[in-house]
Chain A
């Protein structure tokens, strides 16, 4: 499990992470989302001991990783971690097998033990045919899978994944998530259940996590299950279609009570202030025909995580 209390990190005058509290119980996949520069990567680096946190403030800083205190038992805590950095961090000159072997041995696992386990992992991530190919010659998606394999070889209790699917094709992205979910399920069967903390810029990926935290400017603004988060905006999203779409968009933007207008393909999503749904619907129905437009449909839509985070980001700006 992961438990973080009062974690802060400052680079010069930049507060990359501010008083972070977070916990990921065993068997859970926790998604950390947020725009670039929110402090997600810094958080993961702090959690694996690659960066040193700011000296503890009043509250006291605690990082607990798989039962060890990272700050006082660094190497014991690190031994529990599987880490997949954002940037490919294996050796391009080494083959797939050599890379996994190297990182297994760095963790003190002898060849007799890692070899069979490694083949199982390669099979699991679908790299068996490429065992003797050099890592530098793998595609982006395969490199990420290799990274995951190397991070899993010592059966970590804590898996830290930093934007694992950035720059990976959509099919591989699906594979990758299947792998993570399957890995957690298998670890649950084997008794030693793993905690996964994953950062992602993709909302559809965040929706697959059991718990999601939204980070912005170093602060964790809100967390909860995707369902809980979506409920915050229940009933406040209107979806409309019509012509001309740009005209509709302009009109919607002028109506009081509309917080934001977003275009998704041939549809518009409006976020409405709480309690204003009826008024906005009526005004749209009258103004659009009056200005020469056609409204095909106007319905309530289920809020997406994206809507939730947009509204959080905006309220934070005000």
Chain B
């Protein structure tokens, strides 16, 4: 038999969400905004870095070097300066992120068989970007050098291709073009699921207390568990809709592959959402106002974003933070969702993470439900 109280509670919650423009915007628009923001902005891809060039040689060989930099789209030759001081100013102002100095006599040295030297200056303020730029700059230089060497050898009458003694053939799996968005978007899904479920649940329950409606609700013979389920169900449904929304936009706009089984993605997302709901429910038992509830949830949201491997690789963290990361449900979900979307692996490979999520979900829910009372004191 259908539980009339439960149905009525869920329906009331949806009416309230539908008629409150702020919540509606929060639910519908914010996830898409975050997706685009993080899909585009939070990228470690190095592209079109403004490069200032001080060419003191102006030889054909120098032009060849510049062409090589131009051809790879890592750098954009934005400034052509005549004095070293100008280059420094551009770097200081941040207008140029890298500088290339070709000293006089570069062309002559190359044609004489080298070794010629150029100076490459990098703005290291952002280490991640700098590291990528550095290796890009070196690669461009090396590949040019190999070409020049081959040419020189040919001219000296030693034809045939130049063979390097070691050739490392790299292959990149899952995200072959190393597109940051493909790595970011599964993370965005995790963050949205967690934020929506925890914040909305906490505020939805606390709002009843803040506005005094809880007093009327308490007097009805509704059971505590019905109240909890009735409050959580609408937000789990919304969170899953959000997941589908973000996956759809991610696949269509950012071309994120969806290699895993969509049904499984939804199922495991629901499992993860349970932990967010639990945290929201728990926060609601501590907070008296919606602001307090928001703050409490934020306190759990921030560490779980930073310690989940969303932005920063966990492997590079000090051991203490790595241990702490095991306490973040988001950590397990990120492994799951990245694996399902990008790798298309089977559920069997994710057993540990799934068990961890289930344990967290059940644990948090249990604590929250025990703390949740149908009373004012």
By beta carbon, the residue of chain A nearest B8 is A105
Q: A89-B213, A105-B4 are in contact. Are A49 and B218 (CB under 8 A)?
A: yes
Q: Is the CB of B375 within 8 A of A87?
A: no
Q: A50-B215, A83-B216 are in contact. Are A93 and B16 (CB under 8 A)?
A: yes
Interface stretch, picked from A74-82, A205-213, A225-233, A306-314, is A74-82
A91, B221: Cα distance in complex, Å: 18
Interface residues of B, CB < 8 Å — how many? 26
Q: A45-B376, A89-B213, A89-B215 are in contact. Are A79 and B221 (CB under 8 A)?
A: yes
Tell me if A181 is interfacial: C-beta within 8 Å of chain B.
Answer: no
Tell me if A130 is interfacial: C-beta within 8 Å of chain B.
Answer: no
Residues from chain A with a CB closer than 8 A to the CB of B375 are 49-52
Tell me if A92 is interfacial: C-beta within 8 Å of chain B.
Answer: yes
Which of A11, A91, A107 lies in contact with B12, CB distance below 8 A? A91
Binary contact readout A59-99 vs B (1 if CB under 8 angstroms, 0 otherwise): 00000000000000001101101010101111111100010
By beta carbon, the residue of chain B nearest A81 is B219
Which of A49, A78, A98, A106 lies in contact with B15, CB distance below 8 A? A98
Which of B5, B19, B20, B214 lies in contact with A106, CB distance below 8 A? B5
A132, B186: Cα distance in complex, Å: 44
Residues from chain B with a CB closer than 8 A to the CB of A103 are 216, 220
Q: Is the CB of B212 within 8 A of A87?
A: yes
Tell me if A224 is interfacial: C-beta within 8 Å of chain B.
Answer: no
A81, A91, A103: residue with the most chain B Cβ atoms closer than 10 Å:
A91
A104, B126: Cα distance in complex, Å: 61
Q: Is the CB of B212 within 8 A of A89?
A: yes
A103, B9: Cα distance in complex, Å: 9
Residues from chain A with a CB closer than 8 A to the CB of B211 are 89, 92
Min CB–CB distance B208 → chain A (angstroms): 9
Residues from chain B with a CB closer than 8 A to the CB of A105 are 4-5, 7-8
Q: A94-B12, A94-B16 are in contact. Are A110 and B4 (CB under 8 A)?
A: yes
Residues from chain A with a CB closer than 8 A to the CB of B4 are 105, 108, 110
Min CB–CB distance B241 → chain A (angstroms): 21
Tell me if A198 is interfacial: C-beta within 8 Å of chain B.
Answer: no
Which of A52, A87, A108 lies in contact with B221, CB distance below 8 A? A108
Tell me if A258 is interfacial: C-beta within 8 Å of chain B.
Answer: no
Tell me if A177 is interfacial: C-beta within 8 Å of chain B.
Answer: no
Tell me if B58 is interfacial: C-beta within 8 Å of chain A.
Answer: no
Q: Is the CB of B376 within 8 A of A50?
A: yes
Interface residues of A, CB < 8 Å — how many? 33
A98, B19: Cα distance in complex, Å: 13
Q: Is the CB of A93 within 8 A of B376?
A: no
Which of B7, B222, B377 lies in contact with A52, CB distance below 8 A? B377
By beta carbon, the residue of chain A nearest B11 is A102
Tell me if B178 is interfacial: C-beta within 8 Å of chain A.
Answer: no
By beta carbon, the residue of chain B nearest A105 is B8
Residues from chain B with a CB closer than 8 A to the CB of A50 are 215, 218-219, 375-376
Tell me if B264 is interfacial: C-beta within 8 Å of chain A.
Answer: no
A48, B218: Cα distance in complex, Å: 8
A79, B215: Cα distance in complex, Å: 14
Tell me if A150 is interfacial: C-beta within 8 Å of chain B.
Answer: yes
Binary contact readout B221-248 vs A (1 if CB under 8 angstroms, 0 otherwise): 1110000000000000000000000000
Residues from chain A with a CB closer than 8 A to the CB of B216 are 83, 85, 89-90, 103, 150
Min CB–CB distance B222 → chain A (angstroms): 5
Q: Is the CB of A93 within 8 A of B212?
A: no
Q: Is the CB of B16 within 8 A of A106?
A: no
Residues from chain A with a CB closer than 8 A to the CB of B220 are 78, 103, 106-107
Residues from chain B with a CB closer than 8 A to the CB of A107 are 220-221
Residues from chain B with a CB closer than 8 A to the CB of A110 are 4
A79, B212: Cα distance in complex, Å: 20
Which of B5, B9, B19, B217 lies in contact with A108, CB distance below 8 A? B5
Which of A11, A48, A91 lies in contact with B219, CB distance below 8 A? A48
Q: Is the CB of B215 within 8 A of A87?
A: yes
Min CB–CB distance A65 → chain B (angstroms): 11
Residues from chain B with a CB closer than 8 A to the CB of A48 are 218-219
A135, B315: Cα distance in complex, Å: 55
Q: A52-B377, A83-B216 are in contact. Are A75 and B8 (CB under 8 A)?
A: no
Residues 178-223 (chain A) with a chain B CB within 8 angstroms: none
Residues from chain A with a CB closer than 8 A to the CB of B215 are 45, 50, 83, 85, 87, 89
A44, B162: Cα distance in complex, Å: 94
A11, B377: Cα distance in complex, Å: 9
Min CB–CB distance B52 → chain A (angstroms): 59
By beta carbon, the residue of chain B nearest A9 is B377
A87, B212: Cα distance in complex, Å: 7
Min CB–CB distance A155 → chain B (angstroms): 14
Residues 5-27 (chain B) with a chain A CB within 8 angstroms: 5, 7-9, 12, 15-16, 19-20
A88, B5: Cα distance in complex, Å: 22
Q: Is the CB of A75 within 8 A of B221?
A: yes
Which of B5, B9, B223, B377 lies in contact with A51, CB distance below 8 A? B377
Q: Would you list 25 pairs from A and B whose C-beta atoms are within 8 A, ordered by A residue?
A: A11-B377, A49-B219, A50-B375, A50-B376, A52-B377, A78-B220, A83-B216, A85-B216, A87-B215, A89-B211, A89-B214, A89-B215, A89-B216, A90-B213, A90-B216, A93-B20, A94-B16, A101-B8, A102-B8, A105-B7, A105-B8, A106-B217, A107-B221, A108-B5, A134-B19
Task: Known A-B contacts: A83-B216, A98-B15, A106-B221. Give 20 more (CB < 8 A).
Answer: A45-B215, A49-B218, A51-B376, A52-B377, A75-B223, A78-B220, A85-B212, A88-B212, A89-B212, A89-B216, A91-B12, A92-B211, A93-B16, A94-B12, A105-B4, A105-B8, A107-B220, A108-B5, A108-B221, A134-B19
